[in-house]
Structure 1
Amino acid sequence: DSTLLVERANGRPLIAVAALLQHSPVGLLASRQAGIAAAGDLAGKRVGTSYATENEILAFLAASALPSGKFEHLPAIGDARRALLAGQAEAVGVFIGDAAVGELVAGGDYLLLLPRSAAIDFYGMLLFTSESFLQAHPETVRAFRAATLKGLEYAFDHPEELVDRVFARYNTQNKSREQLLFEARQLRDLARPAGVASGAMSIARWQHVVDVYTAQGKLEPGTDLLGFVYDPDAGGLGPFVPWMLGGAALGLLLVALGARKFLASKA
């Protein structure tokens, strides 16, 4: 995800090749019974996060005029939904593609708050490589990127086939077919919003992520990440950037299933 920026700033020579999810799947699930109707209502309340949700949730709350100190932060909360249902927190960071989260929201007792509502808009799943691999194998990177994006498109255009395969072979969480279809639709909406090319990344979006991480102290002011973004037209680094199933399993299967279809068609 967008923490790839921090990894690079910390000395790992990583390159962002494509954004497989244009928007992050992170959201904040809150209890209506606790009087929560908007992010501002979390003042003085307990907010639980995991390692995977913490950065975006804290940035979202800060952008909603709730900096640290105005709420009780419960980091590394573990099972977020269980903590919320048990009354251990009034709101928890979750992945919006999780069918169980959708069912809680549909029940009416909980609402889902999205960081995008406060202009916190991170990329989700990213395809990435290292500088050394790109320099040594530029055509491999170009071909793998193209095959991966073709695979995603195929999977999103054939959700029934995708879910049938997951249901038959990879359903380790014993989810229903309807739950898997819900999660496939959620990932599709995050991966290809209207008007955005598959895999696209923009300078402005990455600048936004840099600004958020700088405000959190995770990046130095003026961090120079020149060459971080891959340019598929040039076949190398762009000149820019100065500046689960359960989500994850489904995402990987989207790539694997679709990319295999694409590569087989070329054989």
Structure 2
Amino acid sequence: MKSMNFIGLFLLLITALLTSSIWTVPVNAHSGDVFEAYTSTPPTIDGVIDEDGREWAAASKVTFTMPEGDTTIYVMNDRRFLYIAAKVSDNSLDEVVNVGLDILTIDFDVRHDGEQFNVGEDTISIGARNRVGDGFVGPGLDILDDQQVDVDGMVGRIGNYNHFEILHPIDSGDANDIAAVYGSTIGARFIFFDESGSDKRTISVYPEGVSAQDADQSNWVDIVIVAPPDDGSGSSGSLGGSGLPVTEIGIVVVAVGWAAYIGWMIRKRRS
């Protein structure tokens, strides 16, 4: 009898846990604009966005307008790296060192809290003449250079477009970098520095309406780190790669358990 009472209490506990997991809504700390794509074939980081071929075909992308024309951002990840590219309409590639470089900067909301771009947040960049940057927000809220550079990238010019390509490890082990796992979400904003622009220096930001100077992260985009399709670790919400979500398995097990327990109670009362 005591063992059956214990089973009843156990079923109540599991039911409560499952109910809370079903009704828990994931926090979306940002604008709702989401980049989410996995690639099994990493792109060649050479300053040439081969969108008509195979390199960036799998990427999640968005096109918007900047002062000199259209710009397309591409985002995807594989097992190790986050890949970001941008094709920017521009009348030139400005590359005068110590005077003006065209630069793409990506700031990350590492904690995904949608609050402030604050101490410890990660920032990376790629500029003309293939100047890469790997930094973080320091104690004085200024950008400091990371001693461990975990960024690679190249810039090229094709026709009337500047091509920016950059990669960053999903988890480099560096305390000043993003540290993501499959299924996790990271906030981001993309800042474009154009040293000539429409005959003047311009700064453009995506998502639109976000300022490069504003520390508020609530309207930044979301980047979801996608698990490999063949990953059997359960990181994508599946158990053993069976395709049946863990929550659904739990519901079935608990339902069977309750049925058996109630059946036992009915039989005991009749006896």
Q: Structures share a fold, TM > 0.5?
A: no
Higher relative contact order (CA 8 A, sep 6+): 1
Whose radius of gyration is greater, 1 or 2?
Answer: 2
Relative to total residues, which structure has the larger helix share, 1 or 2? Answer: 1
Larger relative strand fraction:
2
